[in-house]
Chain A
Amino acid sequence: MEIRGSSESPPDTKKSKSKTPRKSKDDQLLKQKSPAEFFADNKNIAGFDNPGKCLYTTVRELVENALDSAESISELPVIEITIEEIGRSKFNSMIGLADHERVDAELYDDFETAKAREKRLAKEARLQEIQAKNAALGKKAKAPTSMKSIKSREASYYRVTCKDNGRGMPHDDIPNMFGRVLSGTKYGLKQTRGKFGLGAKMALIWSKMSTGLPIEILSSMKGQNYSSFCRLDIDINKNIPHIHVHEKRENEEKWHGAEIQIVIEGNWTTYRSKILHYMRQMAVITPYAQFLFKFLSESPDKNVTVRFARRTDVMPPAPLETKYHPSAVDLLLIKRLIAETSKQNLMQFLQHEFVNVGKSYAERLIGEMGPDFGPKMPVKSLTSQQIVRIHQLFRQAKFDDPSGDCLSPAGEYNLRLGIIKELHPDMVATYSGSAQVFEGHPFIVEAGLSLGGKDVKQGLNIFRFANRIPLLFEQGADVVTRTAVKRINWNSYKINQTQDKIGVFVSIVSTKIPFKGTGKEYIGDDISEIASAVKTAIQQCCVQLKSKIVKRIQAREQQERKRSLNKYIPNATGAIYEILKEMSRSHASKKRRSEDKDAELLKKVSDQIVTEETLREKLAQHVEQVDYEMALEYATQTGVNEEPREDIYIPPLQAEYNFTEFHSPVFVFRLVH
């Protein structure tokens, strides 16, 4: 397990928001900031903007870590997440603080002065009067306008618990994994959910800032006969863990995984829908996982329990760690690769540390670098100037595009299942694009499109995923939203953009997602490669749906054909009969010679043998016949009427068998004894 991020401060710290220079003397002192301090000051970078968002981000980071952990050992994820509301008095007792009654009421911000109360009462009285009047007039009584929450800005606290069945953590690594910012297992070039090793630590920093309570971790790895329990918090100034308890406990039921418990300040009321949306979308993109989400409140009527059931056993393969593409590296990165490489000479270095550089290509590259370079020269002896030359050449030379093999898209199957499972749409189409390249990083765009369904509002509903995590914020500027709203001509696919319930799902996976802004919330619309790939993917789904929609329209027409044809019979026959009548009248008076057949018809009309009724009947008969023929034709074309089928998923019985596992990054081999 690779752990980086020593005590030396990262370059970011120096760039951190330099405060307006004060005139005081101690400003002259050169100060050092630990990464933990930096992120505590700028917690919005990691999505901890306000208490509500903090609660959301905490849930999100814990869930994503849990998923990664379970997937890394090819275990179907089972994740339980619980948010428990903690009232102030309970919180105080937790931290051992006695409850205080307010003595000086006027000291508090929510104190209502006599004047303010008068005003409020008068307003309420007026409101009641109006309501009474309305009621007397028989008007629909409007729900009383919600009073401005008299509750002040009093903080509310939540205990967030996340339990998974993942890999667990080695006993000795636990303190560093939680108590040191910018240390992590997810560095390196690989498609991962998290990236910076920040998530759980930021939650811890936030809990330290808002409640001061430590984090509790219970973890056990497979095959361990004990479980590790750790209670710790973080020393923000030094960026090191501060351990309260670190002990081994018994693990009787052979559980493996991790359970993390943290108490933070939050805001459930405003972020309730966001958190639920997040869980739902997560369930869409990971239908092979089982989620149990619980919200426990002090008043039981507010409790929420949602279970997102597993619908498939098929997991996407774990993403592979890959090497850099020459066009995606910068100077610093080349230097780092040189420092870390185990290869001796330049030739081997080029060949083994980069993708798409073969032996002959490496030779050609070295030849092109100039006379100073040779294939056998030791790579560690390269001067800075020489490294710049290599970098320049990497920028200018042509390389094959990196392949998408290292990526792990959700897969059409899983995406489709997820959509069907969570939305129950009338129609669904999915499409998986081939790997494409943006600045040396491969990416794959997958799209799903659904029509109808439950809990879907009319118009476009956009679901965005990046590296298989849902994106919920900054929807307006996102490439997917822009594409779906502006660049797709829905009408041409017989989809009504405002009336139909359209679900647009786009999942982008890449070794590097080009997020915009600090809190990884959206992908910019300025990258033409991604924009066009998104457009193609959505269009492909539209094309698939179009034929289905056309069929449905035809079926509807089929049912209504007779009715809509019969509706016009009286009008048409009336008009024709009127003319015939006029003709027969003038025919009779003028005795005009016309053709025999016509004369006969006119005579019949004047003799009332052919009346409007006759015409009407004959036309109705014809409509009947045509309708029958077309129905027959329709039936032969479409085949037997298909009843909508409901997909069912039968989970396997938990067979009790012993096996040995052989792990590889791509697969797990199970030898059943």
Chain B
Amino acid sequence: MADKKKRRRAATDSDSESDPLQFKSKLKPDSTILQTLKALKSSAATSSAAKPVTLSDLNLPTACREVSDLPLTSVQSSIESVVLSLAHSILSGNGFSFSVPSRAGANQLYVPELDRIVLKDKSSARPFANVSSVRKATITTRILQLIHQLCLKNIHVTKRDLFYTDVKLFQDQSHSDAILDDVSCILGCTRSSLNVVAAEKGVVVGRLIFSDNGDMIDCTKMGIGGKAIPPNIDRVGDMQSDALFILLVEKDAAYMRLAEDRFYNRFPCIIVTAKGQPDVATRLFLRKMKMELKLPVLALVDSDPYGLKILSVYGCGSKNMSYDSANLTTPDIKWLGVRPSDLDKYKIPEQCRLPMTEQDIKTGKDLLEEDFVKKNSGWVEELNLMVKSKQKAEIQALSSFGFQYLTEVYLPLKLQQKDWL
């Protein structure tokens, strides 16, 4: 693989003096590219056919905590048992205290076999009778009560709704959101099974048909904007597709260009974006697509440390939600572009590249220390190049060759050359 890459680089280097737009002439007919994509799809299908490893199979030396989807009734009964024990404790004069799994960085573990972050089993006490934890303990009881109500009525609310039920106590939505994650950990269920969802953020367009709460949605007929990814994954089902791959896009602008140019009609694919850092719904949706349709996932992110970070959140999970990483992560995402090596390869003009700030460089160096980057030698190489050249570029830098350069030259050429890591 490394050999091939070098040869490819040498090939592109040889005609480096020529006009960058002449990359277009290197494009082979679409049918050839489609052939390579079909090969990719079938290889992805076979590789994912293997039974996925679960945490319990590994017998890790450290105990780990994972949550699962629970039906409403069991969420309700676990809330009730927690509350009963609290009430007993209060009545016997001992106040009350929660045992909350710690979601701090020290309690996270990257498991290379699973290729995702999991949560270790350390937990901390949250007693009521302590000045530093009284507020959190109170908010926790309040959230428990609100979730209990949702269970009884069997409805969904957004995080914002939840916050507004007691603004005076919660003060800031970030407080109630954080406690909500704590409650999922305490009860051992996913956040979706608490019936609390985030507002819609992600969108999908392309060769995908699925049912949303019973209505069939054809994502090729959703206009340019695409279909908003339902915040509640339970509503989604019956996925069908004739796509060859899933294209994961970091940004709205690039997504717009792809959707408007109907990129998915030229190369059958599904285009997804979460407009920046991915929310839970988009990650769940991506995983569901990957699992059910067995399609390869290619990612198009900015050439900066944050692009890679977003990629890692899709792939290995975020630290904040690592307790549910089993459901939220999508394995085997390929980094298609824009990669630091592309800047020279595609002769991105200097004025479109940005110098990295101190903070950027620090983030890049920190990323190099992360296990999920280290496991992929290609990524390490790219990231090293980025930190060394101290240059970053956004996907939009490609627009310097024309707005449609991305869809007409860059992506097809990348696909033709199988240039993903």
Contact = CB atoms under 8 A, between A and B. Distances in A.
Contacts of B94: 622
Nearest to A565: B134
A423 interface: no
A568 B128 contact: yes
A615 interface: yes
Interface stretch (A116-124, A310-318, A569-577): A569-577
A625 B92 CA distance: 13
B39 interface: no
Chain B interface secondary structure, helix, strand, loop or mixed? helix
A307 to B, nearest CB: 47
Contacts of A597: 88
Contacts of B135: 568
Contacts of A520: none
Interface stretch (A214-222, A505-513, A539-547, A579-587): A579-587
A568 B134 contact: yes
Contacts of A252: none
Interface in B79-111: 79-80, 83-84, 86-88, 90-91, 93-96
Nearest to A624: B129
A615 B83 contact: no
Contacts of B354: none
Interface string B290-301: 000000000000
Contacts of B169: 571
A579 B144 contact: yes
A575 B131 contact: no
A621 interface: yes
A55 to B, nearest CB: 47
B145 A615 contact: no
A626 B134 CA distance: 13
Contacts of B86: 576
Interface residues of B, number: 29
Nearest to A580: B87
B148 A579 contact: yes
A579 B128 contact: no
Contacts, number: 87
Contacts of B80: 579, 583
B131 A601 contact: no
Contacts of A572: 96, 128, 137-138, 141-142
B134 A615 contact: no
Contacts of B145: 575-576, 578-579
Chain A interface secondary structure, helix, strand, loop or mixed? helix
Contacts of A623: 95, 128-129
A615 B87 contact: yes
A575 B95 contact: no
A576 B131 contact: no
B87 A565 contact: no
Contact of A621 (B83, B93, B131): B93
Contact of B142 (A571, A598, A625): A571
Given A576-B86, A578-B145, A568 B131 contact: no
A650 to B, nearest CB: 44
A622 B91 contact: no
Given A572-B141, A610-B91, A582 B129 contact: no
Given A564-B134, A568-B137, A579-B80, 15 more contacts: A560-B131, A565-B129, A571-B141, A571-B142, A572-B96, A572-B137, A575-B141, A576-B145, A579-B79, A579-B144, A582-B149, A601-B84, A615-B90, A622-B95, A623-B95
16 contacts: A557-B131, A565-B129, A565-B134, A568-B138, A572-B96, A572-B141, A576-B90, A579-B79, A597-B88, A610-B91, A618-B90, A618-B91, A622-B90, A622-B128, A623-B129, A626-B95
